[in-house]
Amino acid sequence: MAEIEYDKQGSIARITLNRPERKNALANDMRQQLTESFRRADDDDEVRAVILTGTGESFCSGADAGKMAPLDVKGSRNRLQRNAHTLIKTLYHIEKPVIASVRGHTLGIGLSMMLACDLAIASETAKFSCIFARRGLAPDSGAVFFLARLIGQARARELVYSTRFFNAQEAAGMDLVTRVVPDAELEQATLDLAETLAKQPTYALAMAKKMFQFSLSPTLDHFLEYEALMQPQIHQTQDFREGIASFKEKRDAKFIGR
């Protein structure tokens, strides 16, 4: 089966992460497939709303750290821009409303993808974390950009620095998700919202979406360029190597601060 599934039902496109045995953790090839799926939905005039979701018990548990090969600074920057940044920008700039339908683990780049969507409906089972520092990394894929604008600098810093998990009700309280529903109702609630949005004037919503984006400064593109200069340098640290090693060895990381 495909790790990224694309399905169109009338005017609604559903894009599904389909790697449930790894809690839908993203490998590089999945990022490229997701990007292609988002472009496909954006280019299809029949599509008037998009749903992003995951198969199984999780939305997306982040990047597949077990497959993160070490690179030098230039190579790491190129990989970040070519894969994660292209993915996030393509999702963010779709000129149609995009709904994240999330349950279970929503971590790292999974959290970034949810925040890049226009709206998010969460199951009561959803668990969130800006988990990057546990792997010896600063956040990427626009996580700080979105969090700082949605919940303010102080709460964003707390989530980023602590890497703590928080549940769907807390996420709703911080306006990170639009609505929380019982797990059994998630698919129908998401579909109902998508059908409502698909009946709206699509171009008018696209222009409203751009207005919301233009109200933010700096732009996402400018912010991601800064990320691409910063994150590759972190990949050269001992703490990053320890973060990846501890993940593979299923143990707590022992960071040394360099």
Distance, in Å, from the CA atom of 163 to the CA atom of 199, rounded to the nearest integer, reads: 39
- Give the model's pLDDT for residue 120: 98
Hey, which CATH number is domain 4-185, 3.40.190.10, 3.10.20.520, 3.30.1360.10, 3.90.226.10?
3.90.226.10
Nearby residues of 66 by Cβ (< 8 Å), 6 or more positions away: 247, 248
**pLDDT band at residue 21, thresholds of 50, 70 and 90?**
very high
pTM of the model: 0.91
- Report residue 165 as tokens: 């998990």
Q: What is the pLDDT of residues 151-200, one digit of tens each?
A: 999 999 999 999 999 999 999 999 999 999 999 999 999 999 999 999 99
Q: Which of 17, 70, 40 is nearest to 244 (CA)?
A: 70
**pLDDT band at residue 69, thresholds of 50, 70 and 90?**
low
Distance, in Å, from the CA atom of 231 to the CA atom of 240, rounded to the nearest integer, reads: 11
Distance, in Å, from the CA atom of 227 to the CA atom of 196, rounded to the nearest integer, reads: 36
